[in-house]
């Protein structure tokens, strides 16, 4: 189950107060949340919650508003008149489209009552959708507005109708009615060009029909306008649009507080980059967090909140002890079934735990590979479990071996190389300055560097070391010097 969170809308019953999550995440990875945009996902694995802060996947469609300073070749007198007329026609087109939709709704309902089936738009109107029908019906009634922009205006009204119609019929919403301050549509192809002249930016906008242009004694319906560029952000957007790095969407001209503005709608197209073998995902395995993940050149970090397997194991263990206890009394006459009969359920329980671990490991491994692909990591570095010290016997547990095997298998399938790293000093080394000392670990969960003062969760520090290129060689060199 995946919850996508945009803004702060987090659905109960998971959390009463979404700001708690944000505070926690901010404390965990402030650099990520300070960046301009990110996706936040909460993934629920059985009873484990995984937080994901992700800056790579965001799809961007944004709007930037620019004030129109003045038309380049026309006077405000002429241009202002054109805009007001366009606004009047736009409003009429919107309301007429809604009217036609409403009429169709009435006809359709009546027809259904008489014939028992709904009529097909194609048969009656000659169009499969209301938008095409409405455009064709009203297009000749407008003199000023150009055809491309008119089609967009009609589409806007038809989209509004389609999204509201159910509520309108239920009586929960009134029929849309557009007021006189409606924005004027300008489709992307009618923003003919964005031009830079010194520090000034000009837009060439195709706004009126050929007929109207002719009547006005103009050679075409294009108006060039100087726009106000307030700051660097506004400038960068225009530069990227000029360089075709951004794609322009449908824009709108609007009147606000006695001034005219244009809302430019722009989109970033995300490119598929190949996996980068030098971008390394380091995975630390531990008790508190079965997996803690860092990525070499990114502040992104992920972890899986532990306890799932452990809780399940303890639960099963309790049951097993109960059964064994009962087994003690076998043969004393009270039960009379003999020890043999009890062995079977115990074996069943062991199998249950093993199966549970296997499926959990599959989920973890799949999750790890998804993350690696998303971050274009061409390399994953894991601890070489053969090198684990005796006191960390729990890591020798087959569960971790199994998890590593699954990660390795899925990584190879995805074209990601897996490198095993001698883990002897990865938990003692400062991932910030490289200082290695057992004193860097004031407790099992904390890391505090004695030299540079770097502080982090011990698991995260270890993951960062594991996400370092040639870390084994680096550690070998620095320990040899001593």
Pick 252 or 428: Cβ nearer Zn ion: 428
Strand partners, 61: 267
The rounded distance, in Å, linking the Cα atoms of 352 and 345 is 10
Pick 367 or 464: Cβ nearer Zn ion: 464
Which residue is it, tokens 């070489």? 384
Pick 325 or 481: Cβ nearer Zn ion: 481
Measuring CA to CA, how many Å separate 476 from each of 223, 423, 426, 471?
Answer: 69, 11, 11, 8
CB of 465 to Zn ion, least distance (A): 11
Written as six digits, the tokens of 275 are 């996996």
Measuring CA to CA, how many Å separate 102 from each of 98, 122, 158, 179?
Answer: 6, 17, 10, 18
Pick 403 or 430: Cβ nearer Zn ion: 430
Written as six digits, the tokens of 162 are 């389609």
Pick 334 or 481: Cβ nearer Zn ion: 481
Which residue is it, tokens 């005796």? 390
| Pair 228, 199: CB distance under 8 Å | no
Measuring CA to CA, how many Å separate 281 from each of 39, 276, 298, 319, 325?
Answer: 20, 11, 10, 39, 47
CB of 451 to Zn ion, least distance (A): 5
Pick 219 or 482: Cβ nearer Zn ion: 482
Written as six digits, the tokens of 124 are 């009656």
Q: Which of these is catalytic: 52, 89, 459, 472?
A: 459
Residue 131, Cβ density class (10 Å: 0-12 exposed, 13-18 middle, ≥19 buried):
buried
SS3 171: coil
Q: Which of these is catalytic: 89, 308, 383, 472?
A: 383
Is 383 one of the annotated active-site residues of the chain?
A: yes
CA nearest to 410, candidates 297, 281, 305: 281
DSSP 430-450: -TTT--B-GGG-SSSSEEE-T
CB of 449 to Zn ion, least distance (A): 3
Length of the chain, in residues: 482
CB of 431 to Zn ion, least distance (A): 8
| Pair 457, 440: CB distance under 8 Å | no
Pick 249 or 434: Cβ nearer Zn ion: 434
| Residues 230-259: b if buried by 16+ CB within 10 A, e if exposed | eeeebeebbeebeeeebebbbbbbbbeeee
For 330, other C-beta atoms within 10 Å of its C-beta total 16
Written as six digits, the tokens of 370 are 């998804």
From the centroid of its chain, how far is CA 120? 39
Residues found near Zn ion in the complex (CB under 5 A): 430, 432-433, 435, 449, 451-452, 454
Q: Which of these is catalytic: 52, 89, 185, 284?
A: 284
Is 370 one of the annotated active-site residues of the chain?
A: no
| Pair 436, 398: CB distance under 8 Å | no
Pick 88 or 441: Cβ nearer Zn ion: 441
Strand partners, 43: 2, 50
CB of 440 to Zn ion, least distance (A): 8
CB of 442 to Zn ion, least distance (A): 14
CB of 454 to Zn ion, least distance (A): 4
Q: Which residues are catalytic?
A: 284, 383, 459
């Amino acid at each position: 189950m995946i919850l996508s969170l945009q803004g702060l809308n987090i659905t109960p019953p998971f959390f009463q107060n979404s700001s708690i999550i944000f505070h926690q995440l901010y404390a965990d990875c402030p650099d990520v949340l300070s960046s301009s945009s990110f996706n936040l996902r909460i993934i629920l694995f059985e009873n484990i919650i995984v937080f994901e802060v992700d800056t790579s996947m965001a799809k961007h469609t944004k709007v930037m508003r620019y004030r129109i300073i003045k038309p380049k070749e026309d006077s405000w007198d002429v241009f202002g008149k054109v805009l007001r007329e366009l606004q009047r026609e736009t409003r009429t087109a919107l309301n007429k489209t809604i009217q036609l939709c409403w009429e169709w709704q009435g006809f359709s309902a009546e027809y259904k009552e008489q014939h028992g089936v709904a009529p097909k738009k194609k048969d009656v109107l000659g169009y499969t959708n209301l938008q095409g029908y409405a455009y064709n019906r009203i297009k000749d009634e407008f003199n000023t507005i150009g055809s491309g922009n008119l089609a967009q205006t009609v589409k806007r009204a038809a989209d509004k109708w389609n999204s509201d119609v159910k509520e309108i019929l239920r009586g929960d919403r009134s029929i849309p009615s557009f007021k006189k301050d409606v924005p004027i549509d300008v489709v992307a192809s009618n923003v003919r060009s964005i031009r830079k002249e010194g520090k000034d930016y000009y837009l060439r906008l195709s706004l009126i029909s050929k007929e109207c242009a002719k009547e006005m004694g103009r050679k075409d319906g294009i108006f060039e306008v100087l726009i106000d560029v307030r700051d660097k952000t506004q400038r960068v957007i225009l530069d990227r649009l000029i360089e075709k790095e951004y794609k322009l969407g449908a824009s709108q001209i609007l009147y606000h507080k006695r001034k005219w503005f244009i809302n430019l709608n722009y989109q970033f197209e995300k490119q598929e980059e190949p996996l980068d073998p030098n971008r390394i995902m380091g995975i630390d395995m531990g008790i508190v967090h079965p997996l803690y993940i860092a990525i070499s050149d990114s502040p992104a970090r992920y972890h899986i909140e532990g306890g799932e397997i452990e809780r399940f194991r303890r639960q099963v263990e309790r049951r097993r002890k109960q059964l064994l206890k009962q087994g003690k009394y076998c043969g004393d006459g009270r039960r009379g079934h003999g020890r043999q009969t009890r062995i079977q359920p115990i074996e069943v329980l062991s199998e249950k735990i093993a199966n549970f671990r296997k499926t959990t490991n599959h989920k973890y491994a799949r999750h790890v590979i998804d993350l690696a692909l998303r971050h274009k990591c061409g390399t994953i570095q894991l601890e070489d479990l053969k090198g684990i010290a005796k006191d960390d016997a729990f890591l020798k547990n087959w569960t971790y071996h199994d998890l590593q095997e699954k990660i390795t298998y899925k990584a190879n399938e995805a074209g990601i190389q897996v490198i095993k790293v001698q883990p002897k000093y990865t938990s003692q080394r400062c991932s910030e300055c490289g200082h290695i000392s057992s004193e860097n670990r004031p407790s099992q969960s904390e890391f505090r560097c004695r030299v540079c003062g770097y502080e982090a969760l011990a698991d995260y520090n270890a993951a960062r070391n594991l996400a370092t290129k040639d870390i084994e060689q680096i550690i070998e060199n620095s320990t040899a010097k001593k």
